[in-house]
Amino acid sequence: MYVKQVFSIWRLLGGIWPGLLAVTGYATLVFYLFAFKQWDFLSFPISIITILGTALSLLLGFRTNSAYDRWWEARKVWGEIVNDSRTLVRQSVSFINAPKEEKDFIVSNIAHLQIAWCYALTNSLRKGQVLVYADLHLTSDEHNYVASQDNIPNAILNLIQFKFAELHEQQKMETLLYQNIDQTLQRLCDAMGKCERIKNTIFPTQYSFFVVLVIFIFTLVLPMGLVESIGRIAIPITFIISFLFFYVEWIAYVMQNPFENGPNDIPMTSLSRTIEINLLELINAPKIPEKILPKSGVVM
């Protein structure tokens, strides 16, 4: 996620400069043919440009709002994961009734499993190697079990559930307290499902294509509507207006997929590290990792 207050102009142009160059070259060609070759038919009524620009603004507004809703929902889900991860370990510390040494071992194991779940979910959403960082918090038996499963984050959550169920069966946790922890695990499972839904639900392709098509048509007729009234000034004006529309569409494009490991995505690695630090502090672990700091204004 980009965290700087000032945005680089090169980052602005990074995804749209080919289109801007093409539009500027096209506007230059229209001016040349109209002014020097007397191709008067290239002049277009400005009223049509205004109507088309208004329609395009409405389409882009809806597209941007829809993309931002996906991004913001993903960020809220990860906020819930942070809170519920802390709650799970805090409940473990308070609810487990066992001798101190045994209790510390159980709580530590649950905390490490929860940390592994966060990293595994992050890697799974980014389509990377799921057990990277997660395997550091798993025993060999736990690693072998989850590695054999298709959905590794779900398998880790199952391990946590099994451990609490075993504690309840051994009467080391009261039924009412066990139900409270089960609700926390259910919320974590729901959060995982929401992330998977956002990841696997493609933004309507036909709508995205239609918006791009309208932008293309608009940039074709824009210099024709300006060249007669303002002459060569139509070239920079076309560049500026096209830049605005291209950039708004590019913002929507990069925000509609918040789990692609890009600079505008949800900082899941940083959030997972925050969870790791918090949970290790709760169990008084001897070694606490450092926070992940932004690099070039981006935190992942």
pLDDT tens column, 202-252: 877 788 888 888 888 888 888 888 888 888 888 888 888 888 888 888 888
Q: Is the pLDDT of residue 263 over 80?
A: no
Tokens, residue 271: 């959030």
Tokens, residue 94: 């308070």
pLDDT at 11: 65
pTM of the model: 0.87
